Amino acid sequence: MATFGGDMAQNGYTVEQMISAKAIAARIEDLAREIEATFKGTDKLVVVGLLRGSFVFIADLVREIDLPVEVDFLEASSYGDAMRSSREVRILKDLRGEIGGRDVLVVEDIVDTGHTLNHVMGLLRSRGPARIKTIALLDKPSRREVDFHADWIGFEIPDEFVVGYGIDYAQRNRNLPYIGKVKMDT
Ligand code: IMP
Ligand code: MG
């Protein structure tokens, strides 16, 4: 049985718990109530998860939303050039379903510079959804490069590199049940 020891040394860094699994679950309950109120009466809400980081969040979120829901996924990749403020965002995997005339909720793990969600929202809006909203588990407002605001945020965090609850560092740590910050060994 894995213990997920938060401070366990691994590959030159340790992970220190920042947001507990319990706190995440409590926040998701509140967010789900707000989402239900916003989309009350919808015939179907298409919940779109951005792969791969949102897979744990979307799984917990949809199970709290008491509305008719369809789940779809989209994968975008941002090729970052830290020195430039404009980044190329590519769609690696598009939605399977149509969203024209539908109510859509886009689910992201973290809004950082804002380029990914800004680009994805431009694309999805061009398909003519009835209503489209965004939710991100985490927001790092101090890192923003484009003016983007998610409709709902789980937690605002400082400029720290975080992992867990679906979020990775070099494809690792997605299975941590909490959000932790990466502390490089010195
Ligand atoms: P943005 O386009 O800069 O807003 O990119 C957001 C994406 O960058 C997120 O979906 C994550 O995949 C990734 N990202 C941003 N901050 C972190 C972090 O602290 N840990 C892991 N991935 C991150
Ligand atoms: Mg991502």
Of the ligands numbered here, which is closest to the C-alpha atom of 110? 1
11 or 15, higher pLDDT = 15
Average pLDDT score over residue span 146-165: 97
The residue whose C-alpha atom lies closest to atom 19 belonging to ligand 1 is: 161
**Per-residue confidence at 87, pLDDT binned at 50, 70, 90?**
confident
pLDDT at 88: 87
Contact 176, 165 (CB under 8 A): yes
Say if ligand 1 is within 6 A of residue 136 CB: no
**pTM assigned to the model:** 0.93
Integer Cα distance of 15 and 127 in angstroms: 40
Closest ligand 1 atom to 169 CA: 21
Measured in angstroms, how far is the CA atom of residue 30 from the centroid of ligand 1? 24
Say if ligand 1 is within 6 A of residue 164 CB: no
pLDDT at 54 over 90: yes
Integer Cα distance of 73 and 40 in angstroms: 23
Question: Is 112 noted as a catalytic residue in this protein?
Answer: yes
**Per-residue confidence at 11, pLDDT binned at 50, 70, 90?**
confident
Closest ligand 1 atom to 143 CA: 3
Say if ligand 1 is within 6 A of residue 49 CB: no
Measured in angstroms, how far is the CA atom of residue 57 from the centroid of ligand 1? 14
